[in-house]
Chain A
Amino acid sequence: MMEKYIYITLFSPLIGSLFAAIFGDKKKKLITGVFASLMLLVSAFSSIYLMLHVSAEQTYHVKLMDWISAGGLNIPFGFVVDQVSVIMMVTVTFVSAMIHIYSIGYMDHDESFNRFFVYLSLFVFSMLILVMSDNFLGLFIGWEGVGLCSWLLIGFWYHKDSASWAANEAFIMNRVADLGMLIGIFLIYWNTGSLEYDAVFAKAATLPHHTLILIGAFLFIGAMGKSAQFPFHTWLADAMEGPTPVSALIHAATMVTAGVFLVIRSNAVFSMIPSVSLFVASLGAFVAVFAASMALVHNDLKKIIAYSTLSQLGYMFVAAGLGAYWIALFHLMTHAFFKSVLFLGAGNVMHAMDDELNIKKMGGLGEKMKWTMIIMTIASLALSGIYPFAGFFSKDKILEVAFSSHAYILWALLWIGAGMTAFYSFRLVMLVFFGEERYKRYGFHPHEASALMLWAMAPLALFATIGGFFEGGFHEFVTEFLPNFEAEIEPHFMSYILMVITLGVALSGILYAVYKYSTGGFSKEAEEYPVYKLLFNQYYIPQFYDKCIVKPYMSISTFLWQKVDVAIVDTIVDAIARVLYTSGDKARVMQSGNLSKMLRLMVFGLLVLLLLVVIFYPAK
Chain B
Amino acid sequence: MITLTHYLVLSSILFTIGLIGIVRRKNLLMLFFSTEILLNAVNIGFAAVSKSFGDMTGQMFAFFIIAVAASEVAVGLGLLVLWYKRKSTIDLDSMQSMRG
* Chain A residues proximal to chain B, CB less than 8 Å: 591-596, 599-600, 603
Contact = CB atoms under 8 A, between A and B. Distances in A.
B100 A593 contact: yes
B98 A593 contact: yes
Interface stretch (B46-54, B65-73, B74-82, B89-97): B89-97
Contacts of B25: 596
Contacts of A595: 92, 95
Contact of B93 (A591, A594, A599, A603): A594
A591 B31 CA distance: 20
Nearest to B19: A603
Contact of A596 (B19, B92, B98, B99): B92
Contact of A594 (B23, B31, B92): B92
A603 B17 CA distance: 13
A239 to B, nearest CB: 60
10 contacts: A593-B96, A593-B98, A593-B100, A594-B93, A594-B96, A594-B99, A595-B95, A596-B25, A596-B93, A600-B23
Contacts of B95: 594-595
Contacts of B22: 599, 603
Given A593-B99, A596-B26, A599-B22, 15 more contacts: A591-B99, A591-B100, A592-B96, A592-B99, A593-B100, A594-B93, A594-B95, A594-B96, A595-B95, A596-B25, A596-B92, A599-B23, A600-B23, A603-B19, A603-B22
A595 B31 CA distance: 11
A603 B31 CA distance: 14
Main SS of chain A's interface residues?
helix
A603 B23 contact: yes
A600 B20 CA distance: 9
Contacts, number: 26
A324 to B, nearest CB: 81
Contacts of A603: 19, 22-23
Nearest to B22: A599
Interface residues on B, range: 10 to 19
A603 B24 CA distance: 11
A599 B27 CA distance: 13
B20 to A, nearest CB: 9
- What are the 8 A-B residue pairs with the smallest beta carbon separation, nearest first? A593-B99, A596-B92, A593-B96, A595-B92, A600-B23, A599-B22, A595-B95, A603-B23
A516 B19 CA distance: 110
A189 to B, nearest CB: 59
B4 to A, nearest CB: 20
Contacts of B98: 593
A190 to B, nearest CB: 61
Interface string B34-45: 000000000000
Interface string B6-28: 00000000000001001101100
A593 B99 CA distance: 5
A599 B95 CA distance: 13
A598 to B, nearest CB: 10
A170 B95 CA distance: 69
A603 B98 CA distance: 22
Nearest to B99: A593
Contacts of B26: 596
Nearest to A598: B92
Nearest to B34: A599
A600 B23 CA distance: 5
Contacts of B99: 591-594
B95 to A, nearest CB: 5
B32 to A, nearest CB: 12
A261 B31 CA distance: 86
Contacts of A599: 22-23, 31
A594 B99 CA distance: 8
Nearest to A593: B99
Nearest to A596: B92
Contacts of A592: 96, 99
Contacts of B100: 591, 593
Contacts of A600: 23
A594 B95 CA distance: 7
A603 B22 CA distance: 9
